[in-house]
Chain A
């Protein structure tokens, strides 16, 4: 069963506009929510995280919003740049002695110049 769901396989956005990537989760035991970015032929790269006790975390052009009651999070990229074109994985991890990460299937973002 998919505990982390990304329902949009792809997204195209014009350069300079906002990109919004969405993610839903089902497991209430998750305490950290993560976004990883992946370019072709490379491993995923950590982008930003948010703890379940927060509803927003911002890092430069990237902001992650968490709606715990809806079990929904989103990643906003403003302004979008062509170099942001990549596959974005939503992921989640529990707290505790280790952090086994559960990934969604990814959303391919294309930023059009």
Chain B
């Protein structure tokens, strides 16, 4: 299976605990994105990486959230002191972007993983 994988698929935790999710992108993809999807909503952008560099963070990403992509391959998303409002599906996506070229005239497909469903009790 060469798609995007995420681990774990489900996580139940108590309020105040820390959780960490992992995403393994498609191997040759240099961009990696994190999204959050709550019930009845579409995925919302959280942050993205170009190789190991985190280039943008959404306002949704409070200081309790931290994401890393240390070697430009897999990524982790950590939530500290979880709150019930953090309960959601966390989606990871990856894409291949041609470095030094802006993507004029085409959309480089983002391939999504199956997500990690977080429930905070």
Contact B56 A101 (CB under 8 A): no
Interface footprint category on B: 20 to 34
Contact A89 B50 (CB under 8 A): no
Size of A's binding interface in residues, CB under 8 A = 28
Contact B42 A43 (CB under 8 A): no
Contact A43 B107 (CB under 8 A): no
Given contacts A95-B104, A96-B102, A99-B103, contact A46 B42 (CB under 8 A): no
| B66 on interface, CB distance cutoff 8 Å | no
Residues 97-113 of chain A, each 1 if its beta carbon lies under 8 Å from chain B, else 0 = 11111111110000000
Determine the chain A residues whose CB is within 8 A of the CB of B42 once the complex forms.
Answer: 4, 89, 91, 103-106
| A42 on interface, CB distance cutoff 8 Å | yes
Please give me the residue from chain B that is nearest to A34 by CB atom: B107
| A19 on interface, CB distance cutoff 8 Å | no
Q: How far is the CA of A36 from the CA of B93 in the complex (A)?
A: 13
Q: How far is the CB of A30 from chain B (nearest CB, A)?
A: 11
Please give me the residue from chain B that is nearest to A104 by CB atom: B42
Contact B43 A103 (CB under 8 A): yes
| B41 on interface, CB distance cutoff 8 Å | yes
The residue that B114 contacts in the complex, of A4, A41, A89, A103, with Cβ under 8 A, is A41
Determine the chain B residues whose CB is within 8 A of the CB of A104 once the complex forms.
Answer: 42
B interface residues with partner A (beta carbon < 8 Å): 4, 31, 33, 35, 40-45, 48, 50, 55-56, 91, 93, 95, 97, 102-115
